[in-house]
Structure 1
Amino acid sequence: MTDALVRSPGITRVVPAARAAASEPRSSGVARDPSVDAIRVALLVVVFALHAMMVGVSVGADGPVLQNAIEHQAWFAPVSWVVQIMPLFFIAGGFSSFHHWRSMRSRGASGAEYVRARLERLVRPAIAVVAVVAGSLVWLAPAGLAPELVATAGFRIGQPLWFLGVYLATSALVPLMVRAHERARMLTPIVLLAAVVAVDALRFSTGIEAIGFLNLLLVWLLVQQLGFHLADGGLDRLAPSALWGVAAASLTLLAVLTVAGPYSGDMYVNLNPPTLCLVVLGVAQLALFQLARPRIRAWVERADASRLVSAVGERAMTIYLWHMPVLVALAGGLLVANAGAGLALPEPLSADWWATRPVWLSVAAAAVVPVTLLFARFERGRAHRPVPHAAPAASESRPAARSAAVDAVCGVAGIAVVLVTGFGPVQAVIALALLAVALRGSTTVRAAARSAVPTRPTGLRRARSRAGT
């Protein structure tokens, strides 16, 4: 096998083809940046650990209690500046989406094909988790579990789904936002920033909290746009001193916004709804990540961690979607053990509770592994060969674009149903129907594209077969 030339912003190197193939998603056609892949895995670990620490199980005067153990804790606000990593998650996603879409576009794919490819990758695991979780909760209610406890479990499981819904929406807009980046590299984020500030100002001045949820799209589109700036190599031209200055200025501005301004110092309060603070935090995280990229690349190569990073990366959405159901199931197991075997459950945040956290984290991590291996097939799907195109497409049909937009809206709406209303049987059926529409569109267009690819004349195929080509 020949060697592969791998290029990414700030690095060009030759690696053995077998190793390059092992570190690539199947049929992506896009050179990977090991620092971005590694940081996405690290961020996923942080999310899992944080959510595991939030699980508080105890027995109160009125019976079993399942709660967020660190919610409304004053000491958590400064900690949240470190563990609120969603901005960097969307920056890394923007980096990957930028390269993925430009690679597909260079092969002649349309924006609609890109959107449907992303829908297929993201909707499959969503269908699996909605179906299994809803079925399990429906079964638990008549099994004797208190209805309010079942409702709480459904709420806790559904909380992380906001990320999937927003990620679906921002991914569907990647072709449009990349075009805006290419035509107005600086103006695009400035316009988005002005819109974010306007939404926050209107929300605070009117006291209408619902206005803030407009930033569910605006904030994360802006942060995704930062990932485009990382992907196009623009940050590689900045000196380390300039990056340190950007990080320091961003954190200083964040301090002003939270101490003297109207924003909470807890970055998780600023997540719901998203505010300007997450954008400022994202700029700081981007600068610090850019400074750390050479060291992260060196570590991946020195530790030969590319296979591990690739294996986790291919299952990242499955891990994200299933870690909370696993945590809630384990919490339910503790309650059962308490009722049946008298297992002592320490009060959340007590000294005994903190002492048991290492064991809890280890058990939770071990439990997530087999669940991920079982359900990862829905995320990875079947290996698809890329559909060849004669030349880069200058435009795409309006019906195809409209159809892809409808599919994307159905996908986001399907997630929103269970996120807002819970995993009840009626809600689950509605959500699954919407997700099925989104998935059906992506699989239908892929099949149509394959059937439209012209085949070689039979004589030519036989001649090349005899020639060994």
Structure 2
Amino acid sequence: MNLTKDLIPQTTRVQPSRHHGHLGGAPLAAGRDTGIDLVRAFCVVVVVLLHALMAGVTVGGAGPEFVNAAEGTAWFTPLTWAVQVMPLFFVVGGFTGSIAFRRLRERGGTSVDFLAGRVHRLLLPAVFTIGAAGLGLAMLADGGVSAELVQTAGFRFGQPLWFLGAFLLCQALVPALSAAHDRAPLGSVLGLTAAAVVVDVLRIATGLEGIGFLNLAFVWLTLQQLGFFLADGRLDTLDRRTRAIAGLGAVALLAGSFLMGLFSPDLIENLNPPTLALLLVGVAQTALLSLVRPTLTRLSTRPRIEAAIGFVTARTMTIYLWHMPVLLAMAGATALLAMDTGLALPEPSSAAWWLTRPLWLGTAAALTTAAAWALAAGEQRRMPPPTTSVFRVAQAVLAGLAGVALLLVAGTTVFTATAAVGLFVVALRRIRR
């Protein structure tokens, strides 16, 4: 069995149908669900462009500063209603994880094989990216860059890494939660939803924001569970009117939560920590996806779109992990150019700033694409024979989560980057036979 091919987060072509009642249901057809791949590629592109739009650099009397160009602006909150794609990302992750796990089981694979494949695909590219980030921070410090600027660069690099930890956790629980879904589909998703509700109620009632970080598990796991309903065809058994009402109802509840002041209307702000607002966004996005999926499938078969999807799908984690270093390098180069030439950089949100955004976004997309093309070897590398020990693969997952948590809690520095790489290497060694 080619485990690298079978276990990477890719999808098989599953036409909308009646749901399979259990893991050993109707055999899966060969091929790919290109419509779902199109959605995932779209999510990746949106994340890169959104972060590029938020990346700002100014040069003042104290030198260059890296700033969030969207902070405090009037235009950003409405934009987040269209570009908050993380709920959809986890729904699609549930779809692909469920299909890949079922396909593996039908070929005689085990849950351990599945988990080893996920650890390999997610953490191997992270070793190279985080190692390069640590080396880059060391070079900046050695080159005389101020400690404050080096710290800011490390912070900006580490911000998107929450996704790596959350996605690793969710995918690690696919076998267990898939089994729960087969036994009690409504019970399992409602149980996770209830846990997310309790966390948010406690957070709001106590004012302790730290409690909300428990929803790094419950919110994303609930959305992943929605992907299981999409994968097994249960959503397709509902008529289009019912699905449309569910999606519109979620939007209405979301709007009501904004009016009552329960959640911020800035949907990006609801990421940190994750709130129930993202669950409502995910329900609406899932309903819409189920309605337009046949159209997306037809669109995804157009040659140019299909080629773009194939490029992104094979390099999803590489793109995600490397786009922030690309943006930081662009910001640094822009600051150096401004200081060397005396060129005045436009203030974020000014007319001049908006006029330069097409060039900035195009450059970010081109450089990220080049980085993905050149650096995807780690993500595409063949996985060695995996361990058959549940204990060893559980250790691998925990080591990977610990590495991400270290970077998020302590910040990305030369020391923490080195320690995180060490933990990822330990994880990768534990999954080997």
TM-score by length of structure 1 reads: 0.85
Q: For the Cα contact (< 8 Å) 1:9–1:232, is it kept in 2?
A: no
Identity %: 45
- The CA deviation string for residues 49-102 of structure 1, in whole angstroms up to 9 with x for no partner, is 100000111112432111111023343222212111000000111100001011
Aligned amino acid, residue 187 of structure 1: G
The one of 379, 403, 410 aligned to 1:421: 410
Q: For the Cα contact (< 8 Å) 1:414–1:435, is it kept in 2?
A: yes
- The CA deviation string for residues 316-351 of structure 1, in whole angstroms up to 9 with x for no partner, is 110010001000101000011011122331111111
Over 3 Å counting, the alpha-carbon distance change for 1:365 and 1:215 in structure 2 is: same
Looking at structure 2, the residues matched to 383 and 158 of structure 1 have their Cα atoms a distance apart, in angstroms, of 26
Match of 2:344, SS state, is coil
In structure 2, the partner of 1:366 is: 366
Looking at structure 2, the residues matched to 173 and 315 of structure 1 have their Cα atoms a distance apart, in angstroms, of 23
Aligned amino acid, residue 408 of structure 1: V
Aligned amino acid, residue 319 of structure 2: I
Match of 1:73, SS state, is coil
After the TM superposition, which residues 238-257 of structure 1 pair with which residues of structure 2 at under 5 Å, given as runs? 238-257=238-257
Looking at structure 2, the residues matched to 42 and 334 of structure 1 have their Cα atoms a distance apart, in angstroms, of 28
Q: For the Cα contact (< 8 Å) 1:137–1:150, is it kept in 2?
A: yes
- The CA deviation string for residues 280-335 of structure 1, in whole angstroms up to 9 with x for no partner, is 11000001111111111111224463333122101011001000100010100001
Single out whichever of 300-309 and 362-371 deviates more from structure 2: 300-309
In structure 2, the partner of 1:406 is: 395
Over 3 Å counting, the alpha-carbon distance change for 1:433 and 1:189 in structure 2 is: same
Q: Which segments of structure 1 move beyond 6 Å, counting only runs of 4 or more?
A: none
After the TM superposition, which residues 169-248 of structure 1 pair with which residues of structure 2 at under 5 Å, given as runs? 169-248=169-248
After the TM superposition, which residues 67-78 of structure 1 pair with which residues of structure 2 at under 5 Å, given as runs? 67-78=67-78
Q: For the Cα contact (< 8 Å) 1:30–1:100, is it kept in 2?
A: no
Match of 2:142, SS state, is coil
Over 3 Å counting, the alpha-carbon distance change for 1:30 and 1:122 in structure 2 is: farther
In structure 2, the partner of 1:9 is: 15
In structure 1, the partner of 2:165 is: 165
Looking at structure 2, the residues matched to 46 and 273 of structure 1 have their Cα atoms a distance apart, in angstroms, of 21
Residue 11 of structure 1 and its aligned partner are, at CA, apart by: 7.4
Number of aligned positions between the proteins: 413
Looking at structure 1, the residues matched to 109 and 86 of structure 2 have their Cα atoms a distance apart, in angstroms, of 30
| 2:52 equivalent to 1:60 | no
Looking at structure 2, the residues matched to 107 and 136 of structure 1 have their Cα atoms a distance apart, in angstroms, of 44
Looking at structure 2, the residues matched to 204 and 154 of structure 1 have their Cα atoms a distance apart, in angstroms, of 31
- The CA deviation string for residues 112-155 of structure 1, in whole angstroms up to 9 with x for no partner, is 12111110011111000111010011111121211111111111
Match of 2:169, SS state, is helix
Residue 268 of structure 1 and its aligned partner are, at CA, apart by: 1.1
Aligned amino acid, residue 402 of structure 1: F
Aligned amino acid, residue 223 of structure 1: L
Q: For the Cα contact (< 8 Å) 1:177–1:225, is it kept in 2?
A: yes
Q: For the Cα contact (< 8 Å) 2:98–2:178, is it kept in 1?
A: yes
Single out whichever of 237-246 and 213-222 deviates more from structure 2: 237-246
Single out whichever of 80-89 and 28-37 deviates more from structure 2: 28-37
In structure 2, the partner of 1:390 is: none
Aligned amino acid, residue 159 of structure 1: Q
After the TM superposition, which residues 11-90 of structure 1 pair with which residues of structure 2 at under 5 Å, given as runs? 31-90=31-90
In structure 2, the partner of 1:460 is: none
Looking at structure 2, the residues matched to 136 and 329 of structure 1 have their Cα atoms a distance apart, in angstroms, of 10
In structure 2, the partner of 1:465 is: none
Looking at structure 2, the residues matched to 259 and 335 of structure 1 have their Cα atoms a distance apart, in angstroms, of 41
Looking at structure 2, the residues matched to 144 and 50 of structure 1 have their Cα atoms a distance apart, in angstroms, of 31
Aligned amino acid, residue 178 of structure 2: V
Aligned amino acid, residue 96 of structure 1: T
In structure 1, the partner of 2:148 is: 148
Match of 1:57, SS state, is strand
Match of 2:405, SS state, is helix
Aligned amino acid, residue 410 of structure 2: T
Looking at structure 1, the residues matched to 239 and 67 of structure 2 have their Cα atoms a distance apart, in angstroms, of 46
In structure 1, the partner of 2:127 is: 127
Looking at structure 2, the residues matched to 329 and 84 of structure 1 have their Cα atoms a distance apart, in angstroms, of 25
Residue 30 of structure 1 and its aligned partner are, at CA, apart by: 5.7
Looking at structure 2, the residues matched to 107 and 182 of structure 1 have their Cα atoms a distance apart, in angstroms, of 19
In structure 2, the partner of 1:433 is: 422
After the TM superposition, which residues 273-284 of structure 1 pair with which residues of structure 2 at under 5 Å, given as runs? 273-284=273-284
Q: For the Cα contact (< 8 Å) 1:77–1:265, is it kept in 2?
A: yes
Q: Which runs of 5+ in 2 are unaligned?
A: 1-11, 19-27
In structure 2, the partner of 1:464 is: none
Match of 2:71, SS state, is coil
Single out whichever of 54-63 and 295-304 deviates more from structure 2: 295-304
Looking at structure 2, the residues matched to 111 and 156 of structure 1 have their Cα atoms a distance apart, in angstroms, of 35
Residue 259 of structure 1 and its aligned partner are, at CA, apart by: 1.0
Q: For the Cα contact (< 8 Å) 2:170–2:220, is it kept in 1?
A: yes
Q: For the Cα contact (< 8 Å) 1:87–1:279, is it kept in 2?
A: yes
Match of 1:58, SS state, is strand
Looking at structure 2, the residues matched to 72 and 199 of structure 1 have their Cα atoms a distance apart, in angstroms, of 28
Aligned amino acid, residue 315 of structure 1: R
Q: Which runs of 5+ in 1 are unaligned?
A: 1-5, 13-27, 388-395, 446-469
In structure 1, the partner of 2:347 is: 347
After the TM superposition, which residues 95-110 of structure 1 pair with which residues of structure 2 at under 5 Å, given as runs? 95-110=95-110
- The CA deviation string for residues 227-251 of structure 1, in whole angstroms up to 9 with x for no partner, is 0000000111222222221111110
Q: Larger Cα Rg: Structure 1 or Structure 2?
A: 1
Q: For the Cα contact (< 8 Å) 1:30–1:103, is it kept in 2?
A: no
TM-score by length of structure 2 reads: 0.91
